[in-house]
Chains A and B, each alone.
Chain A
């Protein structure tokens, strides 16, 4: 029988004990005596969020394919269990073996969003691992971080031994081999890190020192271990078709946020929206072979028993074989009682036809992401979607029976004017007007347009990495303008407007472009009780405000300051594929309100061609 790290009494006194017992379908059990490396894979948020993440499932299955590695999972204990574990001194454990994390060789943490940074500290502390890498001993696991946030790892650099820059499928095997050799030779932790940093994409923060100028900007970023590489090269998986993929993903007992088979059809995005970090760091766009994807879909439905399948990518409509793939799914799914959940597709004749077949029109809504209200602003951010596209798509959909539309916008974009802001209301109004052009007897009651705005946060490795971010007050004022303008519209009763929280956006802004000094704020905020910051019911702005005061760190320095393109940025030591020259060019193009064509229309020379594949070489073989 499986053992449990928690007593029955504890498991019955907390919410959703299924978060902590493991034993799920397709989870992997091994004999610890038969493996050389024990790896704990962590998503620093609650189980239901962590279990929805595809990246972990990919690496979990890839690692466990190796007979010498046992990869297990661990998530953030929810506050109820967190309190109990601290009170009773129960160490954090992995789901599969229920063994304490501290006894593992590696603790791998995937870092998907900035607001999980305090949860990283929770995981380390509950595991009994010193928070700072410099204080860890031979008894502690190697703490390794990966995921999109590590494209600027500096605000959490001191908590990690290693960052893995790039896609996980590439150099983990090498890293494990180096680790095994080091262990077999009885060498130290330091010796392992020295060997590890020779592997491309592996960044060992303690081998580098940052110095700052008087004005607070970065003066230099230098190596203190001479063999550490000067530049860390992002690792990219070029053959995405013949790559590890979880053909039998772990199926949770309780409902996860993403509770379905997920088919990742491609990586990267051809669009080049200037605010979008994913669109830059996952370049070049690489499509998976459609025949292979069909087989995967079939296999995964069989191995999991899921009742739903969805496609995953940054922009599914750009996948060249999308109609073929969807037609195949529509052939095999209904007879098995499986629903097809469509990602946000570009609204056109094809997607409307598909949606009609797989969704209940009365219940479903159309989604558009214009991101900005005016065409001028959309040119600045390089969002190719025009007002004409939106009105035409919405019109076709309205005629097809839909009456609900969701619109996503951002406020606080560079060069934004009051007219751009009001454009959100104006565009919503035009869509409503388009709906009421349909004769009354042919339409389906009133239309419901929901416009949502989030606040723009500049991210590293985007053309907006130099841009100033708005202050909280400016954000709220802009949201107020939108609200008032919506109310002034003729069809205001058909338009609903809501916006994202400004406090969290400000913090995310600090952490996204922070430097090594920002780590002090993260640590202090955690000490002040900050945890589960991305959960509005747990977010404690006062814990962070106090932390900024106590550490003397000025958030404005990281958010509202416009950076010069000559400034040495904390993440400049990483080569993410897109060159700085390209980013500067795009920043200039943005200010000139000029659109850059997408990768299939014309190569913009971003630098990602150096990887030798993907969209950069399409039609050339």
Chain B
């Protein structure tokens, strides 16, 4: 049974890097005594496939990984048993059965993600930033200098920003994520800062990822569906 786990990573846990989170879940799965499938060989290991690694310092309400169980189990029981093994800051939000096969791997599906920018107290941009955010998003192109592996080049990031809006005191955005084009929210914030003509250092705000999506649209029409919704509950 292939199972997709959705989890939250908050509080101090944002300082634990992606590889260590993988190791953390491997241990949690053992503690929960879930019937996990192992690889063959002298050092058998469980095969977990994580979607879109999260950078250190970013919190999330929508992280995913897939795992393979050796037998069918109710998804709510999986969620509950794994959730009981979590430390403070980690929550298991859901478990869903997903279809087997390489093409449905959580990792390769990722097309977009939602992010919330939470400004730290007293670190908001100066007055009027909320109106300016709409103007920023309304631009036809947003060209920035972007460092690549080899050089630095001009890139238009506007096509990769799918949505952007002010929600209360926060800035919320939906951007392209994954292997095709991966836009980091910090880069959008740098461009926004330049648009405002202000400094917005990375420690002025907390980035929180809220959801990760697959694109199930056809013929270039984008139709986003959360990775969770691609799976089904099993009773």
Contact = CB atoms under 8 A, between A and B. Distances in A.
Q: A-B pairs with the 4 shortest C-beta distances?
A: A305-B27, A305-B30, A305-B31, A17-B15
Nearest to A11: B15
B31 A303 contact: yes
Interface residues of B, number: 32
Nearest to A362: B42
Contacts of B29: 305
B44 interface: yes
Given A2-B11, A12-B56, A23 B30 contact: no
Interface stretch (A126-134, A331-339, A457-465, A497-505): A331-339
Contacts of A22: 12
Contacts of A12: 15, 56-57, 202-203
Contacts of B43: 339, 360
Given A18-B15, A360-B42, A301 B30 contact: yes
A588 B89 CA distance: 62
Nearest to B37: A337
Nearest to B55: A12
B162 interface: no
A301 B42 CA distance: 19
A2 B88 contact: yes
A135 interface: no
B8 to A, nearest CB: 13
B164 interface: no
Contact of B27 (A4, A8, A251, A339): A251
Contacts of A336: 30
Contacts of A538: none
Contact of A8 (B33, B42, B44, B203): B203
Contacts, number: 85
Nearest to A358: B42
Interface in A1-45: 1-2, 4, 8-9, 11-12, 17-18, 21-25
Given A2-B89, A254-B20, A23 B13 contact: yes
Nearest to B201: A9
B29 to A, nearest CB: 7
B33 to A, nearest CB: 7
B15 to A, nearest CB: 4
A387 interface: no
A38 B23 CA distance: 31
13 contacts: A2-B12, A12-B56, A12-B202, A18-B20, A23-B13, A23-B87, A25-B24, A255-B23, A303-B31, A304-B27, A305-B29, A305-B30, A307-B26
A617 interface: no
A23 B12 contact: yes
Interface of B: 11-13, 15-17, 20, 23-24, 26-31, 33, 36, 38, 42-46, 56-57, 85, 87-89, 202-203, 206
Contacts of B28: 25, 305
A12 B29 CA distance: 28
Contacts of B27: 25, 251, 304-307
B118 to A, nearest CB: 12
Nearest to A357: B42
Contacts of A359: 42
Nearest to B57: A12
A337 B45 CA distance: 7
Nearest to A25: B87
Contacts of A337: 30, 36, 38, 44-46
A302 interface: yes
B87 A24 contact: yes
A1 B23 contact: no
Contacts of B203: 8-9, 12
A25 B26 CA distance: 13
Nearest to A26: B87
Interface of A: 1-2, 4, 8-9, 11-12, 17-18, 21-25, 251, 253-255, 301-307, 334, 336-337, 339, 358-360
Nearest to B20: A253
Contacts of B11: 1-2
A415 B168 CA distance: 81
Contact of A307 (B24, B33, B45, B85): B45
A23 B23 CA distance: 15
A73 B56 CA distance: 24
A493 to B, nearest CB: 29
B56 A302 contact: no
B88 A23 contact: yes
Given A2-B12, A337-B44, A358-B42, 17 more contacts: A8-B57, A8-B206, A12-B203, A17-B56, A18-B20, A22-B12, A23-B87, A25-B27, A25-B85, A25-B87, A251-B27, A254-B20, A306-B30, A307-B26, A337-B30, A337-B36, A339-B44
Contacts of B85: 25, 305
Contacts of A23: 12-13, 87-89
Contacts of A253: 16, 20, 23-24
B30 to A, nearest CB: 4
Nearest to A361: B42
Contacts of B202: 12
Contact of A21 (B12, B24, B30): B12
Contacts of B88: 1-2, 23
A335 to B, nearest CB: 9
Contacts of A11: 15, 57
A4 B206 CA distance: 16
Contacts of A9: 203
For A8, A339, A358, the residue with the greatest tally of chain B CB atoms inside 10 Å of its CB is A8
A21 B15 contact: yes
Nearest to B29: A305
A302 B44 contact: no
Contacts of A254: 16, 20
B44 A334 contact: yes
A395 B210 CA distance: 61
B177 to A, nearest CB: 21
A304 B31 contact: yes
A17 B11 CA distance: 13
A339 B43 CA distance: 6
For B15, B38, B85, the residue with the greatest tally of chain A CB atoms inside 10 Å of its CB is B15
A51 to B, nearest CB: 13
Contacts of B31: 25, 302-305
A253 B44 CA distance: 21
A22 B29 CA distance: 21
Contacts of B45: 307, 337
Contacts of B23: 253, 255
Contacts of B38: 337
Contacts of A360: 42-43
